[in-house]
Chains A and B, each alone.
Chain A
Amino acid sequence: NAGVTQTPKFQVLKTGQSMTLQCAQDMNHEYMSWYRQDPGMGLRLIHYSVGAGITDQGEVPNGYNVSRSTTEDFPLRLLSAAPSQTSVYFCASSSYDTLNNEQFFGPGTRLTVL
């Protein structure tokens, strides 16, 4: 199993540009989520999904859109990038189990918005 994969690894955008960060998992996990990590800080939840067709907002959803058309994929869209969105983005997945819910994280996408 490849686990959780994220593309691209690095991206530089200009203010106002749009892009999609890709996330895929091959473990048939129901639950997927996106976090961002600013320098020296812990991770903050952006959006999450408990299954195909179901998404919800996390702690910092503004400026980001998500959709979940398949179990495997959970892309994160930035509609109009802003410098405040410069961060490292992590995707995670887990089996939908409230007691033993080890989450598996991808390697991250480092995004810089100029």
Chain B
Amino acid sequence: DAKTTQPNSMESNEEEPVHLPCNHSTISGTDYIHWYRQLPSQGPEYVIHGLTSNVNNRMASLAIAEDRKSSTLILHRATLRDAAVYYCIPPLIQGAQKLVFGQGTRLTINP
């Protein structure tokens, strides 16, 4: 099974961009990369997913390295509400949807 590696914590300032890295060196060619986040005292919520090219949605952008061994979640203009634990999810087991949550990256946003 593919594994992911993320920094334990990161800190940024409000209204500045944030780049959250994830290494997934054992990913296979057809595996999607998913990101979730968990706000304090809430359940996780889906952020974004992608396969090869960069992806954008209303919450964030996902930049995927050409060799697909790493990806970066980009929050273009962080707000205090973006303070959360961000999880880079290993590729899902084919035919099942068992999310595997590691420790994630705890993002602190300074006002």
**Residues of A in contact, count (CB < 8 Å):** 28
> From B95, which residue of chain A is reached at the shortest CB distance?
A98
Interface SS, B side: loop
A43 touches B97 (CB 8 A): no
B92 in complex: contacting residue of A50, A58, A101, CB < 8 Å: A101
A58/B97 contact (C-beta < 8 A), A103-B46, A106-B43, A108-B43 known: no
> From A4, which residue of chain B is reached at the shortest CB distance?
B43
B87 touches A42 (CB 8 A): yes
B98 touches A105 (CB 8 A): no
- Which residues 56-91 in B have Cβ within 8 Å of A in the complex? 87
**Chain B CB within 8 A of A86 CB:** no
**Chain A CB within 8 A of B7 CB:** no
**Chain A CB within 8 A of B49 CB:** yes
Residues of B in contact with A, size category = 20 to 34
Residues of B within 8 A of A74 (CB): none
B97 touches A42 (CB 8 A): no
**Chain B CB within 8 A of A26 CB:** no
A50/B43 contact (C-beta < 8 A), A44-B101, A99-B32, A100-B49 known: no
Interface string of A18-58 (1 = CB under 8 A from B): 00000000000001010100000111110010100000001
Closest 6 CB pairs of A and B: A105-B43, A42-B101, A102-B46, A43-B101, A90-B43, A101-B97
Q: Beyond A90-B43, A98-B95, list 16 extra A-B contacts (CB 8 Å).
A: A35-B99, A42-B102, A42-B103, A43-B44, A48-B96, A58-B98, A59-B98, A92-B43, A92-B44, A96-B97, A98-B92, A102-B49, A103-B44, A103-B99, A106-B43, A108-B43
Q: Which residues of A contact B (CB under 8 A)?
A: 4, 31, 33, 35, 41-45, 48, 50, 58-59, 90, 92, 94, 96, 98-108
